[in-house]
Structures are given as C-alpha cells and as structure tokens.
Amino acid sequence: MTTTTLEAVPCYLCGSHASREFVHAEDDLGGTPGRFRFVRCLNCNLAYQNPRVPLDRIGAYYDDTYIAHRKKRNWGVLTPLFERAMNKLDEDKAAIVARYIDLVPGTEVLDVGCAVGTFLTHLKKTRGIRATGVDFKDLSSAATLQDVEFHCGLFYDADLAAGRFDLVTMWHFLEHDYDPMRSLATAHRVMRPGATLVIEVPRLDSRTFSWFGDRWPGLQAPQHTVLYDRESLLRAVQRCGFEVVDYLPYGAFPAYFYLFTGAAFWLLKGRGLNLDKAIVPYFVGQLLALPLTLFERRLNLAMQTVICRRPL
C-alpha cells in the first residue's frame, strides 16, 4: 500500500495536529506489504497511527486469515489444546467480569468487537444472559452467533436503545477503533446508570514493548490505530464520563501470545506468521514459558484492563 492511499488524522484524544515521530511498524502477522507510522501527540502524548489506512480500505486487512476471524478448528492432534486455549480465554474474560457485576439470567450484555461471539455464547450458556454483539465485519453466519443479537457495522451507528445494557465489554476493540472517543460516548449512552464497562487493550508501557520495539505484537499495523499506555487509557474513559472502578496491569488475553509472536516477528521481519506451521512451536514454547507467565499479573508483560462504571 502506498502513502498516497493513506489519510492524515488529528489526535484521537485531544484533536491536536501537532505530533512527533514515535515508531514505524509492519503487518507482521499477515505479512501484507507496507510500513506504517505511529506518532506521539505533542499536546497529550497519545500514540496513534498517522497517517492511517482509510476506513473504507481497512477491511482488506481483516480477511479470513485474521486471527480473530479464522474458521479453522481442526489442528490434528493439537486440536484439544487449541480448543482448550480458546475456551480458557472466554472463561478468563468471564472471571474478570464476575468480580465487578453479578451476571444473572436476563442480564443485558453487549460485546463490542465481538468477532464470532464465543464470549457471548459462553455467558449465555453459563449465566443465562441476553447477548448482543457488534462487529464491523459480517460474521453472522458463524454458528456461535446464531443465538446472539448481532449488529454488523460501526458501533456508533448501531441501532441500540439508550440505557439498555447492564454490561458492555470491549476485548481488544478500542485499539482498532477509528473514533474511540465516539465509541466510548456511545457505550455511555447505551448503558443504564450504574452499569459496568470492561475494556482490555495492549499496554504500550509494558515489558514486551520495551523488549520487541517495532516488532511488538501490540503495534499490529495497520489494524491498530491507537496505542494506549495506562495514563492515556484512563484519561480517555474519564473524559467520556465514566468512573474508574479498577485498573488491572494484565488481561484475559494470554501474555505468552505476545512473547511468542514478538520473538517470531523479530525473526521473520515482516514476512508474516504462518499459523499452521507455528502452532506446534507455540504450544511447546508455552510449556517452557510457564514459570514466567505464572507471574504475569505482577510483571506488566503485555495487557491492561480498566473497569468503569456509568455514574448513577
């Protein structure tokens, strides 16, 4: 992709056009040609992609090989490990949520950036919640979305009633967003007073970024538009009227994935990661890295989660 197809944007947080160079990144996961620039806002220090791929072109980077949208489920003898890893991710998300809200039958839950909807299906099966999902890619044919109220398109364009939801989750959505402040304002609008918002994103001020630099998986250019450190994430939610209930220097998403892919991206240098070939070394490495990942909640390895509440 050439620079003539990119568009300049102001800071998502404060609107300033003044910025300085920060880091350049490639599509290390998919291997699509192109080098993309991230800058730091000179006014508020937010890190964001500028220029960026226009919204009407970014869909090409979310094809069926994109990791959240992959349909392949058969990995031979490793299939049970793969399925367990996917199920554990949803279980860990549910465990985080359960600390802050009592999910009872009929609880209205909205997952923004729901992909194929396995988290919502898990909550529906285990807690009896009423499930709604939004994703800009039409994944409605997925079996896991058959019993979910699914809205295809941009979150702030979805036809969702004000004050409807008891819980809104954004698992690795906000770093992809083209208008994150508008999305946060939309979440505030569709939540009832006292409702809970859970946001998980990669953490820019993490150990893995300091280790991998321009090959850090959290850059994931050009899909990631914004890079949040702790300060900028908290500032964004507070600016949109939310009260911060808790901040966690980790998330449900495994930090090991960033350790493995960061090392792979450093070796491959933009050629893309073949997941079919990587799955065996991935699970082998997971065993070897177990002592480190057991302490990931203390080590600030890769993720961050903020739990917010819409004021009464």
Question: Residue 143 belongs to a domain with what CATH number?
Answer: 3.40.50.150
Longest dimension (CA), the chain: 53
pTM (two decimals): 0.93
Cα 226 to Cα 304: distance, rounded to the nearest angstrom: 14
Per-residue pLDDT in tens (0 to 9) along the chain, 312 residues: 444 589 999 999 999 999 999 999 999 988 888 899 999 999 999 999 999 999 999 988 886 555 554 554 565 666 776 777 778 999 999 999 999 999 999 999 999 999 999 999 999 999 999 999 999 999 899 999 999 999 999 999 999 999 999 999 999 999 999 999 999 999 999 999 999 999 999 999 999 999 999 999 999 999 999 999 999 999 999 999 999 999 999 999 999 999 999 999 999 998 888 887 888 888 888 888 888 777 888 889 999 999 999 999
Number of domains forming the structure of the chain? 1
Cα 278 to Cα 256: distance, rounded to the nearest angstrom: 14
Backbone angles phi, psi at 103, to 5 degrees: -85, 110
Give the domain range for residue 62: 3-309
Q: Which residues are CB-contacts of 28 (< 8 A; sequence separation ≥ 6)?
A: 215, 217, 219, 220, 261, 265, 268, 270, 272, 273
Residue 224: both structure tokens together: 């990631």
Cα 232 to Cα 234: distance, rounded to the nearest angstrom: 6
DSSP class of 242? P
Cα 124 to Cα 246: distance, rounded to the nearest angstrom: 25
Is the distance from CB of 123 to CB of 112 less than 8 angstroms?
Answer: no
Is the distance from CB of 47 to CB of 20 less than 8 angstroms?
Answer: no
